Chains A and B, each alone.
Chain A
Amino acid sequence: MSASEIPSDLLFQNSHEWARIDGDTVTVGISDHAQAELTDVVFVELPALGKTVDAGDPAAVVESVKAASDIYAPLSGEVIEVNPAVEGDPSLVNTAPYGDGWIFKLKLSKPDQVSSLLTPEAYGELIG
């Protein structure tokens, strides 16, 4: 098995979501490690646009053949965009977890929460 990719410009949380911060918005997906563990993503349930979530709330669901896994919001905010491409082709979560396989975007309500996320180095140690 090859080592998982961990981009240096992202932040992570323990439950294996990544967060790309851009001003007051964050794009969320699942890590390469998480997609490799899940394998064969066959369904993605996206959050409703306009839904507000607190950091740690289940916001989406990614399903592999064997199991359904909650995707937790890494930060608090309002869902302002979802990725329809992963609804049509859930395998994008496997093939491009940090790119076309992103899941949703939030407009942050508590930007200071960003400091609670894991750095790429810390996430690398977590999945060691």
Chain B
Amino acid sequence: MSENVLHSPLEAAHLALGARLIPFGGWAMPVQYTSILSEHAAVRNTAGVFDISHMGQVFVTGENHIAWLDRLLTNNLSKLSPGQGQYTIMLNENGGVIDDLIAYRISGEETLLVVNASMIPEDVAWMEKNLDPGVTLRNESDEWAGLAIQGPNAADIFKKLYPNETLPPRNGILKTANGEIVCRTGYTGEDGYEFFCPAALGPVIFESFISAGATPCGLGARDTLRLEMCYPLNGNDLSPERSPIEAGLGFFCDLEKPDFIGRNTLVSQKSNGPKLKLTAIQLTEKGPPPRPHYTVLSENGETLGELSSGVLSPTLGHGIAMAYLPSAYSKIGTTLLIDVRGRQFKAVTVKKPFLKKPK
């Protein structure tokens, strides 16, 4: 971790609430306020509010910017109308993941990219290196505070606080009369939205969501919530050495597009089948929580890889994890062993996501 730790505009508010701060992606961010389990439950049952000010905002403008983004990113932005967003991935020349992000079309002329905190400098450098004439980037990551309000009560809370605004539909984006940006997206599997406002207004708006009924939630609960849904975390589950096909994110890669960076690798992996697959693994016996880097073995004791993510699922009550495994072992129902401090615990590969939400 560098000495130049970055601080959220909400840091004083976090400390006043008793939060514990940890380093994350170069930032000091709350890992929890009271308890990861109770914060997790708040998001599943009512609503939680997360500080996501560490995430990056890059605005892309220019008449031909959509064509440029469609060569930079895996998904197909030209299929969206202004007001809509999509999950998409930025690849290196070898088809490895630089970052996963959400691209929101604000208008015909402007698109917002929300990227991972730790990747802001690298993402922007990659975009600038590959920039087309006529396309302009504005990295406004330092100017915005971000909040994610997530949970079954999130929409009601919005109505209470913003009676004159209408939440956009799923994956949509709205600019409020005050210039705030509201995106109907999230990282928890619950309904909710990500709310961006000028950094100076962040603390007041954060407090307003708490007063309206959202429980402040930290990165600990964010991790357990996202892993129950098998949402990948860049740095854990995604890396420059792994492609989105291997990560099981082929749905977000439009191979019909004639060209985008990394496309050739994806086309070949798709037709030949990837050698490795990011696989969902559930512990089938009572044991310690699985954690990243624990070794995964076959039933016969052959080492297959290591966990990229792992937690004790607060909702399901058993260990859940993901790992890149040889395709032969990623088939649903395959028995595996997870090594924890020299003891081996039984596990099985399961269908993603771990948490199946009733519609």
A: which residues have CB within 8 A of B?
A: 1, 39-40, 42-43, 45, 61, 63-66, 68
On whether the beta carbons of A40 and B35 are closer than 8 Å, the reply is: yes
Residues in B169-207 with C-beta less than 8 Å from chain A? none
Cα–Cα distance between A39 and B224 once the two chains are bound (Å): 15
On whether the beta carbons of B288 and A65 are closer than 8 Å, the reply is: no
Nearest CB of chain B from residue A59's CB, rounded to whole Å:
13
Picked from B18, B34, B36, B341, the residue with its CB within 8 Å of the CB of A66 is: B36
Residues in B22-36 with C-beta less than 8 Å from chain A? 31-32, 34-36
Known: A39-B35, A63-B312. 9 other contacts (CB 8 A): A1-B18, A39-B34, A42-B289, A42-B312, A61-B341, A65-B224, A66-B32, A66-B36, A66-B220
Cα–Cα distance between A43 and B18 once the two chains are bound (Å): 25
Nearest CB of chain A from residue B120's CB, rounded to whole Å:
25
On whether the beta carbons of B289 and A65 are closer than 8 Å, the reply is: yes
Residues in B291-317 with C-beta less than 8 Å from chain A? 291, 311-312, 314
Residue B125 interfacial (CB < 8 Å): no
On whether the beta carbons of B312 and A68 are closer than 8 Å, the reply is: no
On whether the beta carbons of A65 and B220 are closer than 8 Å, the reply is: yes
Picked from A40, A45, A68, the residue with its CB within 8 Å of the CB of B291 is: A68
6 A-B residue pairs with Cβ-Cβ distance under 8 Å, sorted by A, are A40-B37, A63-B288, A65-B220, A65-B224, A65-B289, A66-B220
On whether the beta carbons of B18 and A65 are closer than 8 Å, the reply is: no
Question: Nearest B residue to A88 by beta-carbon distance?
Answer: B286
Flag B22-55 by CB within 8 Å of A: 1 or 0 each: 0000000001101111000000000000000000
Please give me the 3 A-B residue pairs with the lowest Cβ-Cβ distance, nearest first: A65-B36, A43-B288, A40-B37
Question: Nearest A residue to B314 by beta-carbon distance?
Answer: A65
Say whether, besides A65-B289, A68-B288, A43 and B312 are in contact (CB < 8 Å).
Answer: yes
Cα–Cα distance between A56 and B70 once the two chains are bound (Å): 58
Which residues of A sit under 8 angstroms from B291, Cβ to Cβ? 68
On whether the beta carbons of A39 and B289 are closer than 8 Å, the reply is: no
Say whether, besides A65-B224, A65-B312, A65-B314, A39 and B288 are in contact (CB < 8 Å).
Answer: no
Question: Nearest A residue to B37 by beta-carbon distance?
Answer: A40
Cα–Cα distance between A64 and B20 once the two chains are bound (Å): 15
Residues in B325-346 with C-beta less than 8 Å from chain A? 341
Select the residue from A1, A63, A66 with max chain B CB neighbours within 10 A: A66
Which residues of B sit under 8 angstroms from A64, Cβ to Cβ? 36
On whether the beta carbons of B288 and A61 are closer than 8 Å, the reply is: yes
Cα–Cα distance between A37 and B300 once the two chains are bound (Å): 39
On whether the beta carbons of A63 and B36 are closer than 8 Å, the reply is: no
Cα–Cα distance between A1 and B20 once the two chains are bound (Å): 12
Nearest CB of chain A from residue B295's CB, rounded to whole Å:
15
Nearest CB of chain A from residue B282's CB, rounded to whole Å:
16
On whether the beta carbons of B18 and A40 are closer than 8 Å, the reply is: no
